[in-house]
Amino acid sequence: MRQFRFVFALALALTVASFPMSQSRADDVDDALKAASDALRSGDNDKALKAAEEAVKLDPKKAMAWFLRAEAKAKVRKHEEAIKDYEKAFELDKKLLAAINQRGGERFRMGLVKESVEDFETYIKANPKAYDDHWRYGISLYYAGRPADGAKQFKAGEGAFGNDVENIFWHYLCNAKVDGVEKARKAMLTLAKQGDSRAYMMKVNDLIRGKAKPEEVIEAAEKAKLDGEQKTEFLFYAHLYVGLNYEAEGNSKKCIEHLTAAVEKYKISHYMWDVGNVHLMLLKKR
């Protein structure tokens, strides 16, 4: 915001208080919001943040401006700032429960697991249809010491993610925490016929069914004919799920070894990186 002399600033304040926002100014706000939204979709986080900040300056009472700024801050891992913006967005518009849902994700990323569960449950209570595919809620339940509830959520997600090994894996991981590996294998979800398109995830599927070894999963990712970010992503997920499988088997040393490799050597921008990071964070607190 530019600095004005006191008299001019006071006059401007009185003008704004007395009259509704001009159409041209409203159009500027809409343009800034669209620019922020488009930039978020395209992955240009810096541009998104700049546009969202402009929208907040133009109309600080616009809930969506704060929400989009929170989204942009979340993308660049400014978690505490994002949380504050989500809260401001919800304060301005109590119907904007997406802000509470997203705050739950940011709380989880900070290691505030129980708080993330509370936010997700607030959102799901208002939007019951969101339960089935709310995998972030399922993951938070696992880390909040409610694996049985987590297993129920991933079971509900079977319809939405039938060909996704990750949903099957987390259902298995939750059940393993409750009943042990052998019983968890007997209760595993069925993988859809088309399977997971990711070869290394099919190896993960074999791993948790006792048909493959951990090194085969890593090898499948290493041999994938990919470069750059895609190769990094493959290696991240391979190490993440090998590590989490060791967690299910009670091998903390191997779990830490592979999760550390995933988090430190193969950093990606996806929420699942935060899952690996939070897991390590919680292990260090034990």
* pLDDT for res 85: 98
Q: Write down the residue that tokens 């990919």 correspond to.
A: 226
pLDDT tens digits, 148-203: 999 999 999 998 898 899 999 999 999 999 999 999 999 999 999 889 988 889 99
Amino acid identity, residue 192? A
* pLDDT for res 21: 61
Containing 271, the helix (H) or strand (E) segment is: helix 271-285
Domain end position, chosen among 72, 96, 120? 96
Pick from 102, 113, 118: nearest CA to 142: 113
Q: Check: CB of residue 75 under 8 Å from CB of residue 45.
A: yes
pLDDT, averaged across the chain: 91
Q: Is residue 102, in this structure, part of any structural domain at all?
A: no
DSSP string computed for 171-223:
HHHHHHHHH-HHHHHHTPPPPPTT--S-HHHHHHHHHHTTSS-HHHHHHHHHT
Q: How many domains does the chain have?
A: 3
- For residues 227 and 286, membership in a common domain is answered with yes
Query: Each residue of 169-185: b (16+ CB within 10 Å) or e?
Result: bbbbbbbbbebebeebb
Distances (CA, A) of 200 to 107, 197, 239, 248: 30, 9, 10, 19
**Confidence at 221, pLDDT banded by 50, 70, 90:** very high
Asked if pLDDT for residue 51 goes beyond 90, the answer is yes
Domain, as residue range, for 236? 201-286
- For residues 172 and 217, membership in a common domain is answered with no
* pLDDT for res 26: 80
- For residues 213 and 280, membership in a common domain is answered with yes
- For residues 184 and 134, membership in a common domain is answered with yes
For residue 46, the SS3 value is helix
Q: Is residue 103, in this structure, part of any structural domain at all?
A: no
Q: Is residue 121, in this structure, part of any structural domain at all?
A: yes
- For residues 2 and 52, membership in a common domain is answered with yes
Q: What is the dihedral of CA 103, 104, 106, 108, to 10 degrees?
A: 160
21 versus 154: the higher-pLDDT residue is 154
* pLDDT for res 239: 98
d(CA 139, CA 44): 28
pTM of the shown model: 0.89
Residues, the chain, total? 286
- For residues 236 and 178, membership in a common domain is answered with no
- For residues 258 and 183, membership in a common domain is answered with no
Q: Is residue 104, in this structure, part of any structural domain at all?
A: no
Q: Write down the residue that tokens 């991240």 correspond to.
A: 236
Asked if pLDDT for residue 17 goes beyond 80, the answer is no
Q: Is residue 208, in this structure, part of any structural domain at all?
A: yes
Domain end position, chosen among 127, 158, 191? 191
- For residues 54 and 76, membership in a common domain is answered with yes
Q: Check: CB of residue 233 under 8 Å from CB of residue 272.
A: no
For residue 34, the SS3 value is helix
Q: Is residue 23, in this structure, part of any structural domain at all?
A: yes
Domain end position, chosen among 96, 119, 141? 96
Residue 73's CATH number: 1.25.40.10
Token pair belonging to 221 = 């990712």
* pLDDT for res 20: 55
